[in-house]
Every structure is written in C-alpha cells, then in structure tokens.
Structure 1
Amino acid sequence: MWDIAKVKASIKPFVFALGRFFGNLYKEFVEKGCQKSAAALTYMSLFAMVPLMAVFYSMFSMFPAFDGVAQQLQDMIFSHFVPETGSEVQQYLANFSQQARNLSAAGAGLLVVTAYLMLTNIEKTFNAIWGVKAARRGITSFLLYWAVLTIGPLLLGAGLAMSTYLLSLKIIVNEYDAIGVTNLFFSYLPLFTTSAAFTLLFAAVPNCRVPIKFALIGGILTAVCFELLKIGFGWVVANSSFSQIYGAFAVVPLFLLWVNLLWMIILGGAVFVRTLAERGYAHSSSRYTDLMAVLQILAIFKEKSRTGESVTDGDCVRAGVGLVHWQQLRSKLTEKNWIAVTDSGFYVLCRDLSDVTVWDAACLVGATLAELEKTPRKRSRDGEWREEFSKRKDLLADDAKAHYGISLQALFSPQQVEELLEELPDEQSEKSK
C-alpha cells in the first residue's frame, strides 16, 4: 500500500520547484519584452515571407535535380505548419512570389535586403533574450545568413526527396510490418523535423554558445507546444464566426494571429532554453559581487592566455560566476574591449593585464568604496590573488586609488606581490602583512 502522506510530502518540493521555475520563465518572458518582439517579427514576416519564398524558388531552379521539389516543399510546409487557413494563404503567397521572380535586378535586390533584415531582427531578438549586446559582424554574419538563404532550401529539398523515397519504401515495408512501426514513425516524423528545426534555431542564432543539450530540450518542448497550438488554433477557427464576420477577408486576420502566436511560442522556447541553462549551472555558481566576479573571470583569462587557449562560457560558470551574472559582465568587458568574441563563439583577452589595475576593474563594473572595503568571503575556487586583494582593504584610509592601483598581472602573479609590497611606505607595508 502506498503511504499517501509520504507521497504528497515527496512530491510537494518538486511541485514548488516546478512552480518557481515556470514563474521565473514567465517573468523573463515579460521582462525581455517577448510579446512586443513577437508583434514586431510578425510585422516583419509579412514583408519577408514573399522574398524568402522567391529566394527559395530561385535556389531550386538552379538545380535540375530539384525540379518540382519547391512546390512539394511548399505544400509540406503549409500542411504541417499552418492550420486551416493554410491553403488560401499558400495560394496568395505563391502568386506573390511568382510575380517577385519577374522583378528587375533592383527589385530583386530589394527583396533580398528585406529577407536579410528579417534574419538580422531574429538574431537581435535572440541576442536580447540571452543578454548579448554584440551582434555578429562581417564575414561571420554574412556566412550565417548566406547559409540560411541558400544552403537551407537545398537541405530542405534533399530532406523532402529522402522523405519521398521513404514514403515509396513504406508501401513495400507495410506488407512485412505487422505491428505498425512504419505508420508510427511517419506519424511522428513532422514532430521530429520540427524539433530539429527549433533546436538548430535556439543553438545557432544567438551570438553566444548555447549548450546543445538545453537547446535540444527546448526544441522538443517548443515543437510539442507548436503541435498543440496547431490543434487548438484549428479548433478555434472551425468553431468561430470569423468567416461570417469578415467573409473572404477572414484569412488575413487569422493568418496574422497565427504568425503572432507562432513567434510567441518560438520566443518562449528561447527564454525556456536560457532559463534552463541558467538553472542547470546554478549548482556551480557562487554569489560574487561584480568586482570579485570580474577579477575571478580575468584570472581565468590570464591563465588561459598563457597556454594560448580561449575561454568558454562554461569556464566562467564553473569558476563560480552565475550564467546571467557572467552575461552581464561579458557585455561590459566586450564594450570596453577588455575581451573579444572569436568567430567560434569563444572569448580571448584583448588587454595587457600589466596596464590594467584593480581600480580600473572596479570602475568598469561601477564598484563603490564600500564594496572595496568589504572583506570577501573565501571560497574554494578562489586563487592566491584573493589574499593579496584582502590585504589592501586595510589601506583605504589614505588613498584608495593608489593602493588599488596594483596591476592585474601583478595581482594574479604571487611572486610579484612581495616586490610591490616592499615599494610601499614602511608603516603601510607592515599593516598589509
């Protein structure tokens, strides 16, 4: 027999933790302005959808092997991604994209620019969710968008050709499939492909390294929510009076509503991945002040630079700096060119730490004298430099800036500390020992 009281007692903490998690998720969704961003992306989607379809058609027309694939791909997308109103919208967009392909070079260039702006807005929104202020620049940005606009359609076409082959194979396999595994596979195939698409979106678009395991979890959950949205939206459309009120024009507000809800689910999934990553690293994070956190981070950069290695987000989080805290400090460090982001999404040191002092670090993060005076609690992750930092808090009475003018190179190098202390006046040197 189950002890109901014990079961309730064991489930209660889990329920509370789950409630806090989704409470934080909703709070982040609102604070990041995802509703406004979804509305803006909906508006931009209306302008970019036809150019994107025109680019897709152009890419397929370059390869005779993909003859007819564009129409099949379009049918598949609208059947799986757009409920109820999909057939009418598909016809309108197909006509628009056909006309777009007959434009002059200047008009075609304008359409490509519109599609490009759509992609930059998506990246900007995802970067805001992850707290990244620096967008991709130069060749990295160009290659990402070029891949989306060119390689993306070709991969979709190859995937569709593969699924067509599997469908033809299904007819043969069904004769030997007594338990219906084949039908089960094909019924869940749209969910698998949608999950893969969302996972790629969450992992590749933000200008920072997103843990793939969290992107995968977010991609699957978003795909499930997307399928539920399709069912719910289809039911609402079938049982509402939109058609009676708007007549033939009903397809426009319904499609706008659908695109807006779709973007809200996608942005909600991005917030979920970010919140999941933050919670996943929470167990290894300590509560550092901004100054102590940035010193801890720069100590990691110094150690890595000695061996020519780059620094990852995980390195900073494992050192005890919370993921969100690290993202905030990362923005300040990149803005002031203390560190730089590589094309691979890692980080390298840009400043000579011999020319940067503790006082400079304090000014960077806006630390007050009260924070400098506060004795930091020793943690197991702290290096030897923490002891030297603590010594100098006793010297604030005379000249804080002078005594915190020790360079970070010296602070992180114990062998140089004694030499620097000998240069101080005798009474202050004794005081610091």
Structure 2
Amino acid sequence: MTTSTTPSATDLFARALRYENRADPYPHYAELRRHPVMRMDDGSWLVSGYREIRQLLHDPRSSADRLDPQNKIPKAARSLLMQDPPLHDQLRRVVTQEFVPRVMGMRDHLGELVGRLLDAHTSDRPGQLDVVAELAYPLPVTVICELLGVPREDEALFGGLARRLTRGLDPVDTQTEEELRELDRARGELVQYLEGLIIQRRTNPGNDLLSGLMFHEGPDRVLDPIQLRVTLGLLLIAGHETTVNLIANGTLVLLRNPDVLARLRTDPDLATPLVEEVLRHDPPVQISGRSALADIDLAGTTIPQGSRIRLMLAAGNRDPHRFEDPDRFVPDRRENAHLGFGGGIHYCIGATLARAEAQIALTALARRLHAPRLVTDPPPYRENAILRGPEHLLVAFERLTPDTPPVS
C-alpha cells in the first residue's frame, strides 16, 4: 500500500526557488495557489492568491519595515522600500518630486539610446545578438547613470555593483558563504563610490538627480547623509535591474509567439498593452515581503502580529480567479491590473520610466530584427530568484536593418 503526502509550504517554496526550476517556476506557484495563505515551518507565511496579495499591499497593518526584526539597523538607514509611514511618506515625496520631472519627456532620448545600441550590430548578413548584454542591460544602466549624474566612464563599474548586490535580495539560506562575503564586499565598494560622488556634488552641484536630492527645496527636510546614500543605492538597483529583466522577458515571449512579434512589427501601438502583459505573465520582480503589525484575517486564516509574510507576486499574476486563461500570453489583454509593480504606498516610483524603456526597446527589436530565433530555449537564467530573468538571451537573425520609421 502506498500513501501520498501533501507538500508543505516550506517544501513548495523551496522548489519554486531551486535554480533548476528558474526557467519555469510557474507550476510550483500554481501548487502554492491551491492554498493562497500558507504557514511555513519557520513561522513565516506565504501568500500567493491575487486577492490576498492585493489586500496586504493596501493594508496599513502590513508593514514593509521587515528586514531587521531586532532593530539592529537604524530606521533612517533602511531604504524607502523598507520604510513605513510617516518616514516613508516623507522620503517618497522628496524622491518623487526630484525623480518624476527628470524622466518626463524622455521617450525621444530613450529611442536614440536604443537606436545606438542596435546600430552597433546592424548587418545585412546573418548574425547573433545577446539581448541582455547588448541591449536590456546597457540601456537602463545608461539611463539611471545619466539621471544620477554618474560619469559615463563609471557606468560599467556602477552597473556591475548593482548586479552583484541584487543577489542579496534572495533569502539568506539560498546563498553560499562566499556569496555572502561577496555581497559585503560589493556593499562596501558601493558606499565608497557613492560617498565620493556626494563629496563632488557638495562643491559642484549640477542639474542631475543626485544634486536635486542633496539640495531639495520643499517642506520636507533634506535627506541626511545616510538616507541619501541608501536612497542612491536603491535607485541604482531598482532603477535598472528590474528593467533588464522586463526587456529580456519581453523579448523571450515575443520570440516564443511569432504571431505577436509580427503584429508588433507593423503596429507599434501594441507595445503599450503588450508590456503590461509581460509584467503580468512573467514579471521581473517575483516576490516581495511584509510583516504583520497586528493580527490580519486573510482568506479564513489569521496571520498573527509580528509574522513575516512573503508575497508571491508572480503567483498572484497568474491566479485564475482573477485572470482568464492566466498561463496564456495575451498581448492586448483587457482588465490587466497586474502586480508587476507592486501596489499601495510602495507602488514602483520608476514604473513610467520602465514601461517606456521596455516599449521602445521591444518595438525596435520587432522592427529591425528579421527572422529572429532563440539560439537556446530556455536560456540560461541568473541565480537571483526574486529579480528573475535570463543571464543571456542569444538571438540569431538573418538581418538587423538600420532604423526606419514604423510602418503605418
């Protein structure tokens, strides 16, 4: 006689995070969704249903101040994403007031940057393009460095630090001792670099975002040195790492759906809903977190005060109770209120910029690449499970033509 056992939340979560499942964690997310609120062996909770995640993202009892339960790090030294009101609201107002005006009207410049990156590979003969290394990565790195006022010669250094630091977003128990040591080294290098940049701006301010944050004029007080450094580090990572994955995941789904690629080639307006569907179907940020400031009743279960909560955003984005045929990519899906940029007071500040970068990059690829195909499917993925995306995305093509206006 054989008996079967139901996997625990801890087992299911571990399966979803295993590297061998990185290319397709969605079947494991579907298993989690069978019980949208589940308790882990360590006392933390997994929430994987769309409705439940959305409720927590908007519930003031659901705290983002979650990474340091022993309060070893001063609250002022925690990033905007890990703060609760009122300090969160003050920091967000300052960052929003300095960031948003600088990204408005950037579409033409973004198009020029994308054009230059693809121009380097223009060819009337067959060739290959690594979409991650040669487009998805350098585009947002250049953009965030321009915004912050990072010298062009430091872009590679600055971007490299971000890639090293993102591994630290994954659960500690998934990282090796060497990875943890490397994370400490990267943090130290970033602090040293940012401090040097801040010293330069004190005596020579410019029109860049860093100068704006340092000398902000408004009712909210200017960021202190620690807050400034932490905010810059957040903008570095959030300002481009998620966009790298968004462009790469979008390219991947286009090449797996040639009919959609053909539509985008002749209808650039499709890019707007298409990017929203990429954010739902294969979001660049897969998991977020909160902690309970009070007992929270959710889906017939009480999450006790003080509990840590993992929000499985990518699982919620494919919840069949919210989205019809959720595993299918529908480029012009209606009612697409996805969780790709989070929600509530922590909704992504850079969402408008990320959308524009992805829309322009994917449209240019569709228009300029002829007969593209994936060299390897699935492609190799990065170690990071939370900011999930391909490490490389090799695309073979028959021709990569010069830039031309979209077909009307």
| TM bin (shorter chain) | under 0.3
**In proportion to residue count, which structure has more helix?**
1
- TM-score (normalised: structure 2): 0.22
Bigger RCO (CA 8 Å, 6+ sep): 2
Higher strand share: 2
Give the TM-score normalised by structure 1: 0.21
Which structure has the larger Rg? 1
